[in-house]
Amino acid sequence: MTRRSLCLLVAGAVLLAACGGGREALGPPVAAVGPRSVYVAIGSDEELGEGSANALQSSWPQVFFRRTLPGNTVFVNAAAHDATVEAALDVQLPIARQQRPTIVSVVLGAQEELAGDPRPQFTDQLTKLLRSLRAIDKTRVLVGSAVALPSLAPDVRTARKAAYDAAIAKAAAATGAEVVPLGDITATGDQQVGTNGRPDPAFPIDDHESEAVAAAFSKAFGKRSTPTSAR
Amino acid sequence: MMAENDVAPVDVHVRGLSHVYRTPEGPITVIDGLDLDVIGPAHVAVTGPSGAGKSTLLAVLGGLDRAQEGSITVGGIDVTSLSGDDLARYRRDTVGFVFQHYGLLGTCTALENVELALSFTGGPTRLRRARALELLDAVGLSARASHRPASLSGGEAQRVAVARALANRPRLILADEPTGNLDDDSTERILELLHALPRDVGCTLITVTHNRAVADRADRRLQLRNGRLVDESAPSRKGVA
Amino acid sequence: MSWRDAFALARRSVYRRLGRAVLTILAVTLAAALLTSLLVLAGAARTRVLNQLSKGGPLAGIQVAAAAPNLGQLDRDSPQPGPPKPLDDVALRRIRALRGVASVIAVEQAPIVVIPPTRIPRALQAVASRKPGTIQTTMIGTELQDASKLPISIISGRLPAPNAQTEVAVTETFLQRYGIGKRDAATVVGMQLEIGSPRKYAFGNVRVRGRWTKQTIVGVVAQQAANGEVLTGASSVEAARSWTAGGEQIGDSIGPDSSPYAGLFVIAAGLDQIGPVRSRITQVGYSTSAPENLINSVQRYLHVIEIVLSGIGVIALVIAGLGITNAMLASVRERRREIGVLKAIGARDRDVRHVFLLEAGLLGLAGGLLGTVGGWGIARTLGSVVNRYLSHQGLVGVQVGMPAVVALGGIVGATVLALLAGTVPAQRAAGLPARQAMGDE
């Protein structure tokens, strides 16, 4: 009886112990905790991925955040549709201030560029915006240059771009912001695929162009972005 | 040998004592209306053939067995009326037994065997030990105090038994064939020791034996015949019935 | 005769018949060892089963939902909660102050959007049957240093470090998004997710603005703390909640939750306190759930198993006890003259009885002591065999511990049983006529 009961007991214990079994492993090492870097993207439709089939994943700030910024970065996309510099001052600057960013990207001016040559207010407001951002915590501000808008007539397009480039460069120079050249990027994104049902973004860029913008900002940030296949 | 005469003499009175053993073959009467009077201190020997009832008489006198009929008074104590703890107390305080087989506990040393008898009366261990050593010394065995019965000779073992019998200062010593297992030298030594007890200690000694020589040492010799005692000795100073 | 003298005499008797004593003690030892080891292993298995029932959390855990109680289902382990009701700090304090509450752990949650990596690890690729797109789910946060008190058990990897900002654990539901199960849980560990907290704002249509972090999956867990696929520290969830709460309340799909806490995990002061504490929380006005009835039922079954195992051990002890009785009766038969001599020199019946009872008790005590130590050894040996098997299977082992009550029960039980077994021989010895001293039969 004794041996029989011992056998039964061992079998029972094994059964009971096995019935719910959790695997236990050490798992990855604990990540080091340090001060977080905070990135805020200020901009318009292109920052929201307008023109991409998968705007949430493929917007260029998301790609820049994913590829270039440190692992402990918090990223807030403050961009708004059809945003002008004036609108950004009203809506996006307060969000940025609230987040106390360590780095800010600013890509604005497409709406103004569509409307005409840069007016003095554009430069003033942009300067004010960049200065305000810089003042938060000596924040590093990367400001994108003007782009050639496909919806403009070819003869107007280049001159208009050059005028805005100059205005942006002036504001950047006045505030210590760094200009990121985006001149080679042409907006060819599908204008009918804008997010949230807006079919007419000013600067619709597709996934390929998002990659290019992100790469330009990565380069400016001091770190070359890795090719798509690396992810 | 026993220097102190330290107990009060005891008288033994037996009246109409009868004892019957029931056997498959029928009842056997070993004691039949026996009367006995012993005035202590005295040494009385009871003889008789084997199966005559000598040991039964001793057992009944010592409270090891209950009398079936008759009365026994020892030192004023009505033994036949005792039972349970009272009987145990009577055996402990009034009677000392010496057996043919010595009755020593093999797991105890000579000293512990003597002490054992004292353990039933209580008292401090230190005093018990001193008394046991004193008794062993009195029987000439202080040097063998730490020996176990197995390493003692028959004579030595019986002397330890005598020392143990005397431990609680009994007034009546009952010896059942005390030399039955001993050689001549040891027999002589034990007889000397026992015989001196009534004189030295003041107790009454009743020895049961079928050995004539042993019986001759007694003050008085009784023979158990047909369940009754017949006095075979000439009247003497002691133990006159 | 004093107990001390009786004990000395009993001890000498045991030594005198050492061979028989050793065999008798051995029988008691084996029986006590069997009883002890059975109880120890039953206890270990019981702990394991109950741990599984409580999903690694404490058995006396009660979940409090951010909802009013459903009065029709109060007697259920997992009742359907009533209408939502905010769980705030006031409620937390009131519940914490209730009688029978040992501790309260708050569980927070936040709505999130998860962007899984476009390229998944090769190991996951090999087993995954599908690949999720953007995921809308809930992130659960709690003070992870208290995780051991919560109904959370680790399937693979580990829990996020309590203060880490970039670590999360995911649940089995997350695994299902890749079409994999618990067996392949390790394949997602180390993967990096982008987790965004939505904030609503109105701009013509409803828009959502995200606050994103990169989070590494450090473990896969089974958890019942709250509904959600992602588990992390309280501070990460607070930050996410705070971002979402800064938005506008538009519709009810994604938006700031009105309840600061998703739920509470209340630990009662004991299993018997679960019922009363649940009633008190109901009176405070919140819905509770606890595996109260389940654990009670399982405990009843486990109790039956323990009774059966104890029965086996007790039968063995009774057999050993009968062995003691037999050995002691033989001893009485052999020592009739010795008993007679003891009586002849003044021993009372009870003195003789005491000596024999103590002798039996000594045998039982020695057997009980050796048996308890032996049983502990047997249980440990069997435990290590079982654990080797379990670890070979990749499962968590059982803890084989010797409860004081089992150790004490083994020793005292064996001694008491031996005393009982010695009663008949002791009585027989005490009843022997003193005449036996004369050597008569």
Residue B210 lies in a domain: yes
User: Residue C168, Cα to own-chain centre: how many angstroms?
Assistant: 27
What b/e sequence results for C28-59 when a residue is b if at least 16 CB atoms lie within 10 Å of its CB, and e otherwise? bbbbbbbbbbbbbbbbbbbbbbbbbbbbbbbb
Binned at pLDDT 50, 70 and 90, residue A92 comes out as very high
* CB burial string C206-243: b at 16+ within 10 A, e below: bbbbbbbbbbbbbbbbbbbbbebbbbbbbbbbebbbeb
Are the Cβ atoms of A22 and C155 closer than 8 angstroms?
yes
User: Tokens at residue A91, please?
Assistant: 């809506």
C355: which strand partners?
Answer: none
pLDDT tops 80 at residue B100: yes
Contact A16 C49 (CB under 8 A): yes
Residue A25 to residue C186, Cβ atoms within 8 A: yes
Report the domain count for chain B. Answer: 1
Question: Domains, chain A, ranges and CATH?
Answer: 35-226 (3.40.50.1110)
Q: What is the largest CA-CA distance in chain B?
A: 53
Span of A89-93, C95-99, C236-240, C368-372 with lowest mean pLDDT: C236-240
Neighbours of C296 (CB within 10 A): 13
Alpha-carbon distance of C89 to C92, in angstroms, equals 5
Average pLDDT over residues A17-26: 35
Put simply, whether C45 touches A (Cβ < 8 Å) is: yes
What digits encode the pLDDT tens for the residues C43-71?
A: 887 777 766 665 555 667 788 888 888 77
In a domain, B74, yes or no: yes
Instruction: Tokens for A225, please give them.
Output: 């972005």
pLDDT in tens, A29-81: 655 555 679 999 999 888 888 777 788 888 899 999 998 999 889 999 999 88
Can you give the length of chain C in residues? 441
Do B and C share at least 3 CB pairs under 8 Å?
yes
Other C-beta atoms closer than 10 Å to the C-beta of B22 total 8
Mean pLDDT of the residues in chain C: 84
Amino acid C84: pLDDT: 83
A120 upstream amide cis, omega within 30 of 0: no
State how far the alpha carbon of C404 is from the alpha carbons of B223, C40, C363, C372, C412, in Å: 70, 10, 22, 11, 12
As beta bridge partners, residue C226 has: none
One-letter amino acid identity for C156? S
Higher pLDDT, C191 or A152: C191
Helices (H) and strands (E) in chain B, counts: 7, 10
Band of the pLDDT at C256, cuts 50, 70, 90?
Answer: very low
Q: Note the pLDDT of residue C53.
A: 62
Q: Is A12 on the interface with C (CB under 8 A)?
A: yes
Please give the residue range of the domain that contains residue B90: 12-231
Q: Is the pLDDT of residue C23 over 80?
A: yes
3-state secondary structure of C146: helix
Asked if A touches B (at least 3 Cβ pairs < 8 angstroms), the answer reads no
* Predicted local confidence at residue C58, as pLDDT: 63
> Given the DSSP bridges, would you call strands C152-157 and C205-223 parallel, antiparallel or unpaired?
antiparallel
pTM: 0.56
Which CATH number does the domain housing residue B133 bear?
3.40.50.300
pLDDT recorded at residue A133: 94
Is any Cβ of chain C less than 8 angstroms from the Cβ of B89?
yes
Question: Does B1 fall in a domain?
Answer: no
- β-partners of residue C138 are C111
Please say whether the beta carbons of B10 and B74 come within 8 A.
yes
Mutant choice from C331, C438, C440, C441 vs B, greatest count of B C-beta within 10 A: C438
Quick one: which H or E segment has residue C113?
strand C101-115
Structure tokens given for A112: 């103004």
C window 394-433, beta carbon within 8 A of B:
433
pLDDT band at A199 (very low <50, low <70, confident <90, very high): very low
Contact C344 B64 (CB under 8 A): yes
Which residues between 139 and 158 in chain C have a beta carbon less than 8 angstroms from any beta carbon of chain A? 153-158
Give the highest mean pLDDT range of C149-158, C293-302, C388-397. Answer: C149-158
Q: Alpha-carbon distance C424 to C322, whole Å?
A: 11
- Residue C336 touches partner B, C-beta closer than 8 Å: no
Burial of residue B84 (CB within 10 Å: 0-12, 13-18, 19+) is exposed
The answer to whether position B122 is within a domain reads: yes
B236 domain residue, yes or no = no
Q: Is the model's pLDDT at A19 over the cut of 80?
A: no
Output phi, psi for C427, to 5 deg. -65, -40
The answer for C 318-377 residues in CB contact with A (under 8 A) is: none
CA distance B219 to chain C (A): 25
- Residue A156 distance to chain C (closest CA, Å): 31
pLDDT digits (tens, 9 = 90+) for B123-141: 888 888 998 998 888 888 8
Continuous H helices in A25-107: 55-58, 60-67, 85-87, 93-99
For residue C340, is it left (φ>0), alpha (ψ between -120 and 50) or beta? alpha
B89, B97, B164, best to mutate vs chain C, most C CBs in 10 Å: B97
Q: Is residue B32 part of a domain?
A: yes
Supply the pLDDT for residue C441.
43
Residue-wise pLDDT for C339-380, tens only, equals: 989 999 989 999 999 999 999 999 999 999 999 999 889 888
Instruction: Judge whether residue B117 has pLDDT over 50.
Output: yes
Please report whether residue B18 resides in a domain.
Answer: yes
Partner B contacted by C20 (CB < 8 A): no
Does A30 contact C at CB distance below 8 Å?
yes
Interatomic CA distance for residues B1 and B138, integer angstroms: 7
From CA A227, how far away is CA A170, in angstroms rounded? 32
A103-107, B47-51, C109-113, C330-334 — which one is most confidently predicted on average? A103-107
Residue C283 makes CB contacts below 8 A (sequence gap 6+) with none
Task: Looking at the complex, report in whole angstroms how far the Cα of residue A216 sits from the nearest Cα belonging to chain C.
Answer: 21
In this structure, is residue B59 part of a structural domain? yes
Average pLDDT for B53-64: 88
- ipTM associated with this complex: 0.90
